[in-house]
Amino acid sequence: MLDYFYLALYTFFKVLLKVLPSWILRKLMTAIAWLAWYSSPKHKNRIKEHLTLAWGTALNESEQKEIGIHAFMNLLDTVFGILKRDGMDKQEVLHNITFEGSEIIEAYQKANKNFILVTGHYGNWELLSQSMAIKFDLTLVGVGRKIDSAMMDEVLKKNREQFNVEMIYKKGALKESMRVIKEGKTLGILTDQALRPHQSIEVQFFNQRATHTPLASILSRKFGLDLIPAYISTEDYQSYTVKIYEPIVSIKTENQEEDLAILTQKQADITEKVIRKNPKQWFWMHRRWK
């Protein structure tokens, strides 16, 4: 019964978000974000703790609040966007998106070379995967967690697949990722979540020790695939910019441990660089440092 309740909610909000004028939707997102900031001490304190870890005393109370509220706004924008784009025409998805660095991916495609896309929980990350798949005519396969409701997991699966985005799950991700690469599809990996020490590689992130997924590094080294970082951002939740960065070139020497450490640190470095440029876009609620 709970599955059907979730489905009813999904359907209701999908219709509602499609008929609401964009300016009303933005005001609604702002109101919910402010409410979340003031009504959830747990998340507010976690955001402030993480901002202090990353920036020290450089941010005052007002600046921390502004960044925190935008973190909630980005989450709402990501979730609402999933609902709004359900059934949307592919070209309509791209209508308000500007791409910077498209020539990087186009050069790989011209050379018939596959790559791994690396990104993070920055901006509207669901829109990033869908827009990249449409723009570059990719079958993009993400790695994520299966949600508890089997019915809703299937709904979200179909939602993504309409835009050439598929999903594999974290359990058994390495084996499934290798299958994806052998099939010639493009793997996309969110690299900015903390993992248990035995599952991760330690990196420096904002001058702090942090664990980092080695998945992209392992696959890059094994298959000789370069890693292409890409991130999406917005200033007004209407128009978006996808910025594609210079590739992290695959390396393979006799020292596997060192190769993986170098590749993984470079992923952490580009994520930090992007966040420093605009910290309001990152999902500061994540337990990135443990």
Q: Where are the domains of the chain?
A: 2-281
pLDDT at residue 150, rounded to an integer: 82
For residue 209, list its beta bridge partners.
204
Compute the distance between CA of residue 218 and CA of residue 185 in angstroms, rounded to an integer. Answer: 17
CB within 8 A of 34, min separation 6: which ones? 69
Mean of pLDDT over the chain: 94
Is the distance from CB of 222 to CB of 269 less than 8 angstroms? no
For residue 231, list its beta bridge partners.
243
Compute the distance between CA of residue 252 and CA of residue 240 in angstroms, rounded to an integer. Answer: 36
Q: Is the pLDDT of residue 1 over 80?
A: no
Is the distance from CB of 188 to CB of 142 less than 8 angstroms? yes
pTM (2 decimals)? 0.94
In the chain, helix, strand, coil percent, each to 5?
Answer: 55, 15, 30
pLDDT at residue 105, rounded to an integer: 98
Per DSSP, the three-state class of 207 is coil
pLDDT tens-place string over residues 24-68: 999 999 999 999 999 999 999 999 999 999 999 999 999 999 999
Please spell the DSSP secondary structure of 223-272, one letter per residue.
HTPPEEEEEEEESSSSSEEEEEPPPB-----S-HHHHHHHHHHHHHHHHH
Hunting for tokens 């609402």 — which residue is that?
80
pLDDT tens-place string over residues 57-116: 999 999 999 999 999 999 999 999 999 999 999 999 999 999 999 999 999 999 999 999
Q: How far is CA 146 from the centre of its chain?
A: 16
Q: Is the pLDDT of residue 290 over 80?
A: no
pLDDT at residue 101, rounded to an integer: 98
